[in-house]
Structure 1
Amino acid sequence: MKKIVVKRLRFNVYTILLALLLIMPIVDTISGALHDMVPVGQVYRFFLLILMLVILAQNSQKKFAIVSTMLLLFTILQTVVSGVDIFNGVKDIIKLFTPIIMIVLMELLIIEKKIKDAYIFRIMDAWSVIYPILIITPGLFGYGINAYDGNVGWKGFFYAVNEISFIMSGLVMYLFWKLHKEINIGTLVLLAINCICIALMGTKTGYATIILFAGIFFIDSIFEKKYTKKIRVCMLIILVIFMCALGYTKIQNVTASIFERWQYQKGLSHSTVDFLFSMRLRRLEDAISIFVNGFYLLLGWGFAGEANGFPNMEMDFLDLLFRTGLVGFCIVCMFYVRKFCDVSKKSLWGALIIIWSIALSFGAGHVLFYGQSGMMLAFNYIYTLNIGEARDKRALYTL
Structure 2
Amino acid sequence: MLKNISVYEFIFYVLLMAIPVVDCITGYLLLSNSNIGSTIGQFLRIVTIIFLFLSTFNRQRLDNFLFISLFCFCLFLIPVFNYFRTGSVQGYIDETIYTTKLILPILMILGIYNARKDKKISSNFIDNIFSFYIIFVPLSLIIPKILGIGYVTYENFDVGYKGFYYAGNELNILLLSISVLSFQKMTEKFTVYNAITALICLGSLFLVGTKTSFLVIIFLIIYNLIKKRDLKNKFKVILVVVLVLCISYFLVNTIFKDQIEKLLLKNQYYYETLSGSNDSITNFIFSNRNARIGINFEKNYIENSNEGLFFKIFFGVGHYQQFKSTSLNSIIEMDFFDTLLWYGLFAALAIFTFYTYVLYIGIIRKKNKEYLLCYLLIYLFSLMAGHVWYSALAGSVFGMIGSKVLE
The interval holding the TM-score normalised by the smaller chain is 0.7 to 0.9
- SS of the residue corresponding to residue 160 of structure 2 reads strand
TM-score when normalising by structure 1:
0.88
1:134 aligns with 2:144: no
1:173 aligns with 2:180: yes
State the match for 1:236 in structure 2: 242
- SS of the residue corresponding to residue 369 of structure 1 reads coil
Q: Residues 187-231 of structure 1, C-alpha deviation per residue, up to 9 Å, x if partnerless?
A: 22222222222222111122222222221111111x233413322
State the match for 1:156 in structure 2: 163
**Distance across 1 between alignment mates of 2:301 and 2:189:** 51
Query: What is the 5 A alignment of 1:242-261?
Result: 242-246=248-252, 248-249=254-255, 251-261=256-266
Q: 1:133 to 1:350 in 2, by over 3 A?
A: closer
State the match for 2:67 in structure 1: 66
**Distance across 2 between alignment mates of 1:115 and 1:163:** 27
1:324 aligns with 2:343: yes
- SS of the residue corresponding to residue 153 of structure 2 reads strand
Deviation of the 1:288 alpha carbon:
3.7
State the match for 2:405 in structure 1: 384
Query: Which of 122, 131, 143 is 1:116 aligned to?
Result: 122
State the match for 1:390 in structure 2: none
User: 1:96·1:369 contact (CA, 8 Å) conserved in 2?
Assistant: yes
State the match for 1:107 in structure 2: 113
Deviation of the 1:343 alpha carbon:
0.8
Between 269-278 and 282-291, report the one with greater CA deviation. 282-291
Deviation of the 1:292 alpha carbon:
5.7
Tell me which amino acid in the other structure corresponds to 2:378.
S
**Distance across 2 between alignment mates of 1:81 and 1:139:** 43
**Distance across 2 between alignment mates of 1:304 and 1:210:** 37
State the match for 1:187 in structure 2: 194
Query: Which of 90, 94, 98 is 2:100 aligned to?
Result: 94
- SS of the residue corresponding to residue 157 of structure 1 reads coil
State the match for 2:323 in structure 1: 307
**Distance across 1 between alignment mates of 2:3 and 2:237:** 42
State the match for 1:17 in structure 2: 12
- SS of the residue corresponding to residue 153 of structure 1 reads strand
1:75 aligns with 2:73: no
Deviation of the 1:102 alpha carbon:
1.0
- SS of the residue corresponding to residue 307 of structure 1 reads helix
Deviation of the 1:99 alpha carbon:
0.8
- SS of the residue corresponding to residue 130 of structure 2 reads helix
- Runs (5+) with no aligned partner, structure 1: 1-6, 387-399
**Distance across 1 between alignment mates of 2:258 and 2:125:** 39
Tell me which amino acid in the other structure corresponds to 2:16.
L
Q: Size of the alignment, in residue pairs?
A: 378
Q: 1:42 to 1:252 in 2, by over 3 A?
A: farther
Deviation of the 1:346 alpha carbon:
2.6
Q: 1:47 to 1:248 in 2, by over 3 A?
A: farther
**Distance across 2 between alignment mates of 1:313 and 1:180:** 38
**Distance across 2 between alignment mates of 1:315 and 1:100:** 18
State the match for 1:391 in structure 2: none
**Distance across 2 between alignment mates of 1:229 and 1:369:** 41
Tell me which amino acid in the other structure corresponds to 1:76.
L
Q: Residues 333-383 of structure 1, C-alpha deviation per residue, up to 9 Å, x if partnerless?
A: 121111111111232555443222111111111111111111111122123
Between 278-287 and 330-339, report the one with greater CA deviation. 278-287
Query: What is the 5 A alignment of 1:331-342?
Result: 331-342=350-361
Tell me which amino acid in the other structure corresponds to 2:403.
I
Between 225-234 and 195-204, report the one with greater CA deviation. 225-234
User: 2:289·2:332 contact (CA, 8 Å) conserved in 1?
Assistant: yes
Query: Which of 350, 355, 361 is 2:376 aligned to?
Result: 355
What RMSD, in angstroms, separates the aligned Cα atoms of the two structures? 2.3
Q: 1:189 to 1:383 in 2, by over 3 A?
A: farther
Deviation of the 1:243 alpha carbon:
3.8
- SS of the residue corresponding to residue 147 of structure 1 reads strand
